[in-house]
């Protein structure tokens, strides 16, 4: 009896354990199944479809069945009593296309009110919800389904390239008519069609990361993917590359839309980086070409194109420069070419780009892709800067051509060969413009006379912030390194010996105010007045293998060679004459100009000619003379300016009339000094107002 009771107890416990295990397994399977469908829904990113007043969604709280609700969240209504829906698409606000895991992801359809539920196609469109993503759109009389493999994590560039190839190869496009009949299936190998469209000798370009320069996406908003590729002649690395666009058709084929020649910079146009082609992408119905290059200063340009009015146009530009040596000099500008609106950004002391200004340029006619040649077109004005007196405007076109425009005159194109523009500096009186160029700490500057656009002088210096006009605009101070001279610091940093220079803009005379030495650098700080500036003195030494710096700030007078202004009212010009010339000169007006004559202290000596400023003739006459045989043999005069279309020249002496006089005479030395300075005085010719 005890044995029988024990058997019954064991049997009961076994049954209870089995039932409990079965219930646990059932719940576990249910949880697993729910998780599976939740993952599938998340993968497909289509849990909600908003169509006007109703939103259609998959309800994970009711076995993933189809529901709808009002936009405000009210009137939640179950549409179909179908479980485990994975993909949901609403077409024309009256049809629902969906797939479920219960019937192996076959395509079903129903009315949005839940009626007319039926199987549309036996074909398994989705496959595993863990590996693919399904989307569908209505195009004419067919439904287009695109199945894209989900991307897997890629650690190396090689893995990323392999993953790109796997996703591209596994992408399938299906076209189904409204009755569910398959029109065609994928995958579609569009690369073969692309090659068949290309001109002989052209191949698809590569981006700098080695991947193919092509992009796929909807450019004309018809729900069908289009293709953009950049092509080149592999044997012509110095020739600009072409853009080709192919529009997708409902049957899965493609047709050429445009072949834009020389619309992308060449393979060696990126400076130190050589190939500038950084990227090609499609987003928001437009495609973007990104190029970059440079060396210490890296430039980046992004051009956005869009189909408008049955043609392709440049509609947006984002570009700027990143200074790798001095990040605080980095800048960027974003322009909407449709509206003219722009946003400019300037880096802070840490190199972070912050908005510095925004506004609206004058609207210009959009540039067609067919006319685009790899950079911003000539009608796009950039780097606009207005003089302190509001009378002059500096701006660039094409990114390289530079102009000065006076309110009452035609723009003057500056004859500059440099194209990496940095800072724009106006003199306080607006008579001079200093432009900063370069991609390294050692800069080059060009100083222009704003009234004529003439180049006054080219200089070298360090850093844009060390180029400063005096308060009255008559002088320009800067720090210049002598890279040929060895400095104590050169063992630790590059640079040479630093000195402070001052340029007298009237005479074009440059003076070293503080001369550096191997162990001492002098660098500009600021102007204190028209004749005094402060500078930093840095003494270098080595201690225990390390560089030791001892810095202090000092002041110095700069009025070494002051000038007085001579104004000629007949011809409307002025000259800056050194004060040191007085009282040993006189100015006389001639029929076609003026003459400067030396008046000696020794009255027993005769007067001597210093130089003349003379009217030559028109610019056309001067051009003919310059191209003629007489000028080529050499002449004792030179062009110094143009006033109202007339050329003025400087004619100097042909001999030193005091040569050979005794050392006790002071006049020969002063006369010789004035002759040497005469060319600078002549070049100071400025239109007077």
Q: How confident is the model at residue 228 (pLDDT cuts 50, 70, 90)?
A: very high
Question: Average pLDDT of 478-500?
Answer: 78
Q: Percent of the chain at pLDDT above 90?
A: 13
Which residue in 671, 637, 634, 638 sits closest to 656, CA to CA?
671
Q: How confident is the model at residue 381 (pLDDT cuts 50, 70, 90)?
A: low
Model confidence at 13: pLDDT above 60: no
Q: Which residues of 88-104 are buried (b: 16+ CB within 10 A; e: fewer)?
A: bbbbeeebbbbbbbeee
- The CA distance from 490 to 507, in Å, is 35
Q: Percent of the chain at pLDDT above 70?
A: 73
Q: How confident is the model at residue 321 (pLDDT cuts 50, 70, 90)?
A: confident
Q: What pLDDT is attached to residue 311?
A: 93
Do 33-184 and 380-459 share a fold?
Answer: yes
3-state secondary structure of 57: strand
Q: What pLDDT is attached to residue 541?
A: 84
- Label each residue of 600-639 as H, E or C: CCCCCCCCEEEEEEEEEEEHHHHHHHHCCHHHHHCCCEEE
Q: Which of 149-153, 157-161, 586-590, 651-655 has the highest mean pLDDT?
A: 586-590
Fold held by 33-184: Lipocalin (2.40.128)
Which one has a higher pLDDT value, 541 or 144?
541
- The lowest-confidence range among 207-221, 237-251, 369-383, 573-587 is 369-383
The C-alpha angle 609, 610, 615, rounded to 5 degrees, equals 95
* Distances 104 to 14, 99, 553 between C-alpha atoms, Å: 37, 8, 82
Model confidence at 235: pLDDT above 90: no
Model confidence at 97: pLDDT above 50: yes
Model confidence at 680: pLDDT above 80: no
What is the arrangement of strands in the sheet containing 497-504, beginning at the earlier edge strand? 467-469, 475-482, 497-504, 509-514
- The CA distance from 201 to 196, in Å, is 12
- The CA distance from 60 to 57, in Å, is 9
- The lowest-confidence range among 43-47, 138-142, 669-673 is 43-47
- The CA distance from 623 to 261, in Å, is 38
Which one has a higher pLDDT value, 465 or 522?
522
Parse the chain into domains and list their residue ranges.
Answer: 33-184, 190-371, 380-459, 470-561, 563-687
Which residue in 542, 528, 665 sits closest to 600, CA to CA?
665
Report the mean per-residue pLDDT for the chain: 77
Q: What pLDDT is attached to residue 39?
A: 41
| Number of other CB atoms surrounding residue 218 within 10 Å | 16
Model confidence at 631: pLDDT above 70: yes
Model confidence at 425: pLDDT above 50: yes
Model confidence at 306: pLDDT above 80: yes
Model confidence at 208: pLDDT above 90: no
Question: Average pLDDT of 659-675?
Answer: 76
- The CA distance from 76 to 68, in Å, is 6
Question: Average pLDDT of 40-56?
Answer: 53
Model confidence at 460: pLDDT above 50: yes
Contacts of 664 (CB under 8 A, 6+ apart): none
* Pairs from 533-541 (Cβ < 8 Å, separation ≥ 24): 533/470, 533/477, 533/500, 533/502, 533/558, 535/500, 540/487, 540/488, 540/489, 541/488
Class of domain 380-459: mainly beta
- The lowest-confidence range among 53-57, 285-289, 366-370, 555-559 is 555-559
Which one has a higher pLDDT value, 75 or 192?
75
Q: How confident is the model at residue 151 (pLDDT cuts 50, 70, 90)?
A: low
- The CA distance from 554 to 535, in Å, is 6
Contacts of 566 (CB under 8 A, 6+ apart): 574, 575, 576, 577, 587
Question: Average pLDDT of 279-306?
Answer: 87
Residue with tokens 């003026």: 594
Question: Average pLDDT of 551-562?
Answer: 73
Q: What pLDDT is attached to residue 458?
A: 85
Question: Average pLDDT of 129-139?
Answer: 52
Model confidence at 544: pLDDT above 50: yes
- The lowest-confidence range among 131-135, 143-147, 318-322 is 131-135
């Amino acid at each position: 009896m005890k044995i029988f009771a024990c058997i019954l107890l064991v049997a009961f416990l076994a049954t209870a354990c089995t039932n409990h295990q079965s219930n646990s397994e059932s719940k576990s399977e249910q949880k697993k199944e729910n998780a599976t469908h939740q993952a599938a829904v998340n993968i497909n990113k289509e849990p909600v479809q908003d169509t006007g007043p109703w939103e259609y969604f998959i309800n994970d709280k009711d076995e993933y069945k189809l529901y709808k609700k009002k936009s405000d969240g009210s009137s939640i209504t179950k549409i179909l009593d179908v479980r485990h829906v994975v993909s949901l698409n609403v077409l024309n606000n009256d049809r629902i296309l969906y797939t479920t895991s219960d019937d192996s992801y076959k395509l079903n359809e129903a009315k949005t009110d839940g009626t007319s539920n039926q199987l549309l196609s036996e074909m398994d469109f989705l496959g595993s919800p863990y590996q693919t993503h399904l989307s569908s759109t209505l195009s004419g009389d067919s439904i287009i389904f695109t199945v894209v493999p989900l991307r897997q994590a890629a650690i190396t560039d090689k893995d990323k390239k392999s993953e790109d190839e796997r996703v591209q190869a596994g992408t399938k496009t299906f076209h189904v008519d409204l009755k569910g009949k398959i029109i065609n299936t994928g995958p579609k190998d569009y690369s073969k069609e692309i090659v068949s469209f290309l001109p002989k000798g052209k191949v698809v370009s590569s981006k700098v990361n080695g991947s193919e320069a092509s992009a796929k996406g909807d450019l004309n908003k018809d729900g069908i993917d289009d293709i953009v590729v950049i092509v080149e002649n592999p044997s012509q690395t110095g020739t600009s590359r072409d853009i080709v666009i192919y529009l997708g058709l409902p049957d899965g084929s493609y047709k050429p839309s445009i072949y834009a020649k020389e619309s992308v910079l060449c393979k060696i146009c990126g400076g130190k980086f050589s190939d500038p082609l950084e990227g090609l992408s499609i987003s928001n119905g437009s495609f973007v070409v990104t190029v970059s290059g440079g060396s210490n200063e890296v430039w980046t340009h992004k051009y956005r194109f869009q189909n408008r009015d049955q043609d392709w146009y440049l509609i947006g530009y984002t570009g700027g420069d990143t200074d790798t040596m001095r990040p605080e000099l980095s800048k960027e500008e974003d322009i909407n070419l449709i509206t003219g609106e722009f946003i400019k950004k300037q880096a802070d002391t840490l190199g972070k780009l912050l908005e510095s200004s925004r506004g609206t340029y004058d609207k210009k006619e959009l540039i067609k892709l067919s006319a685009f040649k790899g950079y911003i077109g000539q009608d796009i004005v950039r780097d606009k800067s207005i003089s302190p007196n509001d009378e002059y405007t500096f701006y660039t076109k094409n990114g390289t051509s530079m102009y000065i425009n006076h309110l009452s005159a035609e723009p003057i194109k500056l004859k500059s060969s440099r194209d990496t523009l940095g800072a724009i500096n106006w003199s306080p009186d607006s008579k001079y413009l200093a432009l900063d160029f370069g991609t390294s700490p050692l800069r080059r500057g060009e100083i222009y006379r704003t009234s004529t656009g003439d180049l006054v002088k080219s200089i070298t210096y360090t850093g844009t912030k060390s180029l400063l006009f005096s308060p009255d605009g008559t002088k320009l101070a800067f720090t210049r390194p002598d890279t040929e001279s060895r400095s104590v610091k050169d063992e630790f940093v590059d640079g040479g010996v630093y000195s402070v220079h001052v340029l007298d803009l009237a005479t074009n005379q440059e003076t070293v105010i503080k001369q550096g030495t191997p162990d001492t650098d002098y660098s500009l700080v600021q102007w204190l007045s028209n004749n005094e500036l402060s500078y930093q003195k840095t003494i270098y030494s080595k201690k225990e293998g390390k560089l030791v710096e001892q810095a202090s700030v000092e002041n110095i007078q700069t009025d070494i060679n002051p000038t007085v202004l001579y104004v000629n009212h007949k011809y409307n010009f002025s000259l800056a004459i050194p004060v040191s010339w007085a009282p040993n000169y006189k100015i006389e007006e001639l029929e076609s100009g003026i003459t400067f004559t030396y008046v000696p202290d020794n009255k027993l000596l005769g007067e001597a000619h210093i130089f003349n400023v003379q009217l030559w003739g028109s610019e056309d006459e001067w051009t003919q003379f310059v191209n003629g045989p007489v000028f080529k043999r050499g002449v004792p005069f030179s062009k110094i300016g143009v006033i109202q279309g007339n050329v003025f020249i400087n004619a100097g002496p042909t001999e030193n009339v005091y040569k050979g006089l005794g050392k006790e005479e002071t006049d020969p030395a002063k006369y010789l000094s004035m002759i040497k300075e005469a060319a600078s005085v002549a070049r100071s010719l400025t239109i007077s107002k």
